[in-house]
Amino acid sequence: MDDLGANKIFGAVLATALVILGLKQAAEMVYAPHKIEKPGYAIAVAEDTSGGGEAKADTPPDWGTVLPKADVAAGEQVSTKCASCHTFTNGGANGTGPNNWGVVGRQPGTHPGFAYSSAMQDFGKKTPAWDFDHLYMFLANPQSYVAGTKMSFVGLKKPEDRINLIAWLRQQSSSPVAIPAPNPKAEAAAAGAGAAQTAAGKPAPSDAAKVAETGKGEPAKGAPVAAAGGSATGTPGQTGSGAAAAPKTASTSPGAPPK
C-alpha cells in the first residue's frame, strides 16, 4: 500500500472520530442533565378539612361497665399478636417476654425466671400490681409508659382491642381478679375530662385551679371555695373549718343558721 492509500485510511478514521465526538458534544448540550435539589419524589397529600382529626384523650374506662360487655373471643384473637414473645398457659415457658398466665393482678417485673429490664423492675417497685388501668395504658404504648422496657411492641392503639384483650387475660388465671362494680359517674367523668382535654388541649382545671386563675384569691364565678384553715368566702376574718364554705342562704335543716 502506497502512502496515499494509508493517508486516506487515516483521514477516514480521524473524520469518523471527529463526527462521533461532535455528536457527543451536541447531545450533551441538548440533553444537559439537571441536578435535583432534593432526592426522592414529592407526593401530594390532600389536606383533611373534615374537622374530625382532633386526638381523643385516651383514659381508662369504667371497668365495671366495660368488662362484662367485652368480647373475650376477640381479646383472644388480639393475643395472637403477642404469642411470638409470650405464653399464656399455666406453667408456660418464658420466651422473649415472660409467661403471662395470671398477669392481671401480678406485681410487674416479678415473674420467676425472667430477666426483666431495670426499668421494669423499678416500675414494679412503685406499682403493687398489674391492675386494669396500668395494663390499659401500658398496652397502648409500652415504651412510652415504661421507658426502657425490653418490650419493643408498638402497642395496641384501639381502646376496644385493649379492653377485649384485658378481659381475656383476666380469665387466664387460677383465681381471676374480680370485676369492680359499675360506676357510671366515673365513666361519664372520664368521658367529660377527655372531651375537655381534646377541646382545650390540656386537662380541665379543677375548682382550686379556677380560684387561682381568677386572681386575688376570689373563687371562680358560681364555684364555692374550699378553705383549709384560711378565711371563708363572704365574711372577712372568718376562720374556715377545712370544708367548702357554703352560701349564706344554705342550711342543713329548716331554720338552721348557715354554716
Judge whether 126 lies within some domain: yes
Residue 15 within any structural domain of the chain = no
pTM for this prediction: 0.55
β-partners of residue 244 are 226
pLDDT of residue 99: 97
Question: How many domains would you assign to the chain?
Answer: 1
Q: Which domain holds residue 133?
A: 63-171
User: In whole angstroms, what is the distance from residue 110 CA to residue 131 CA?
Assistant: 14
Chain segment 99-153, per-residue pLDDT in tens = 999 999 999 999 999 999 999 999 999 999 999 999 999 999 999 999 999 999 9
**Confidence (pLDDT) at 124:** 96
Whether 156 is in a domain gets the answer yes
| Confidence at residue 155, expressed as pLDDT on a 0 to 100 scale | 95
- Tell me which residues of the chain have a pLDDT lower than 50: 45, 48, 51, 53, 198, 200-259
Q: Which of 70, 95, 96, 93 is nearest to 169 (CA)?
A: 70
What CATH number did the domain enclosing 116 receive?
A: 1.10.760.10
Specify the pLDDT at position 55: 54
Q: What is the pLDDT of residue 76?
A: 97
200 lies in some domain:
no
Residue keyed to cell 384483650: 165
DSSP string, 63-118: HHHHTTT--HHHHHHHGGGTTTT---STTPPP-SS---TT-TTSPTT--TT----H
